Amino acid sequence: MTASAAVAELRSRVAALHTELVRYGLVAWTSGNVSGRVPGEKLFVIKPSGISYDDLTADSIVVCDLDGNLLEGDLAPSSDTAAHAYVYRARPDVGGVVHTHSTYASAWAARNEPIPCVLTAMADEFGGDIPVGPFALIGDDSIGQGIVETLAESRSPAVLMRNHGVFTIGKDARAAVKAAVMCEDVARTVHIAKTGGPLVPIDPAHIDSLYHRYQTVYGQR
């Protein structure tokens, strides 16, 4: 596949993945974004800034280099572009990044509180607690630095950036969207559980076992 064909295919895929953010109630108005790395190229595609999800098309998805510079598209890239670009530069294994302000997960971020691993679904997907990253202002790559530094010490594909919201990573854009969906789901369940009494942690050895099974055995291989 040529580079231009790969870019066109990814723009279409990333545009479609934004509908999943809406479907699962992870975004409000125009907030939130999905990006994807172009395989074999020093490029990624990302949602443009301030565009309604109803108006989002493959043609409106913009193409940037790994420094966050706009290369293709008529619209300004997301205000989170520098953060996404930093993650791609620092983590060659990452093929997709997602940002949301989903309600329950962002509430944990507002409290500067990691989501403790008290559900098997968390052990499966996140391999432990969902960590909190540092507060950082939007506009440069400070958020990206916080994401990379926090996730370097975690198996989690999700990080709660303090006083902000959720960033997730994955091998591709779809995997990052899945992590964002699962992050909000467990954030809600653990919040509800916490209001009813003390949380019961899962033994670390059991977390390891659950994570290994889910990551290597579960589903179609």
pLDDT in 10s for each residue of the chain, 221 residues? 899 999 999 999 999 999 999 999 999 999 999 999 999 999 999 999 999 999 999 999 999 999 999 999 999 999 999 999 999 999 999 999 999 999 999 999 999 999 999 999 999 999 999 999 999 999 999 999 999 999 999 999 999 999 999 999 999 999 999 999 999 999 999 999 999 999 999 999 999 999 999 999 998 86
The DSSP H or E segment spanning 105 is helix 103-110
Give the up-direction half-sphere exposure of residue 35: CA atoms within 13 A in the CB hemisphere.
Answer: 31
Hey, is 11 helix, strand or coil?
Answer: helix
What is the side-by-side strand order in the sheet with 132-133? 70-72, 62-65, 43-46, 33-37, 96-100, 165-170, 158-161, 132-133
Distances (CA, A) of 167 to 34, 54, 137: 10, 22, 14
Question: pLDDT tens digit string along 114-164?
Answer: 999 999 999 999 999 999 999 999 999 999 999 999 999 999 999 999 999
Residue 74 annotated as catalytic: no
Q: Under CATH, what is the fold of the domain 3-216?
A: L-fuculose-1-phosphate Aldolase (3.40.225)
Q: Is the dihedral of CA 187, 188, 190, 191 positive or negative?
A: positive
80 part of the active site: no
Task: Pick the catalytic residue from 59, 67, 140, 218.
Answer: 218
Task: Please tell me which residue in 86, 104, 124, 185 is annotated as part of the active site.
Answer: 124
Contact 70, 126 (CB under 8 A): no
Query: Domain coordinates of the chain in residue numbers?
Result: 3-216
